[in-house]
């Protein structure tokens, strides 16, 4: 199975870390720096999983997730929020919008890989 992941985050160090880790796991990795770029990528590439930050310029993670959930072609895509927003109300909102998982920063790369692989099984 060709596994694909879209990493959507505006923090370059986080993107580099995640990209390296998932390529090492055999994933094809796509990168977007905000929701607008993510939506452009999703027009031509459908990943298995999206790692999605919330606080980004242009289109934030909540808006991006709402768009993803409205598109039938993306209905099978798993979405994991990976964000610094860690209040109970933030987590509740993210899960209510349809995120499959909600992980907070700072993070353990091993935990993220484990959570993503778990979603795919």
pLDDT tens for the chain, 121 residues: list them: 589 999 999 999 999 999 999 999 999 999 999 999 999 999 999 999 999 999 998 899 999 999 999 999 998 999 999 999 999 999 999 999 999 999 999 999 999 999 999 999 8
CA angle 41, 47, 49 (to 5 degrees): 120
Per DSSP, 102 falls in state E
Q: Where are the domains of the chain?
A: 4-120
Could you tell me if 55 and 83 are in contact, meaning their C-beta atoms sit under 8 angstroms apart?
Answer: yes
What strands, in cross-sheet order, belong to the sheet with 4-8?
28-32, 4-8, 49-52, 78-83, 101-104
> Helix (H) and strand (E) counts for the chain?
5, 5
For residue 85, give the nearest of 118, 120, 60, 110 by alpha carbon. Answer: 60
For residue 10, give the nearest of 44, 33, 32, 27 by alpha carbon. Answer: 33
CATH level 3 topology of 4-120: Rossmann fold (3.40.50)
């Amino acid at each position: 199975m060709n596994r694909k992941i879209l990493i959507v985050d505006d923090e370059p160090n986080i993107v580099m870390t995640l990209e390296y880790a998932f390529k090492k796991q055999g994933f094809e990795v796509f990168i977007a720096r905000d929701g607008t770029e993510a939506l452009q990528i999703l027009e031509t590439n459908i990943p298995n999983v999206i790692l999605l930050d919330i606080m980004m310029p242009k289109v934030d993670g909540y808006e991006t997730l709402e768009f993803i959930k409205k598109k039938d072609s993306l209905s099978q895509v798993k979405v994991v929020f990976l964000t610094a927003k860690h209040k109970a109300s933030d987590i509740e909102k993210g899960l209510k919008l349809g995120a499959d998982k909600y992980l907070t920063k700072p993070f353990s790369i091993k935990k993220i890989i484990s959570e993503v692989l778990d979603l795919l099984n």
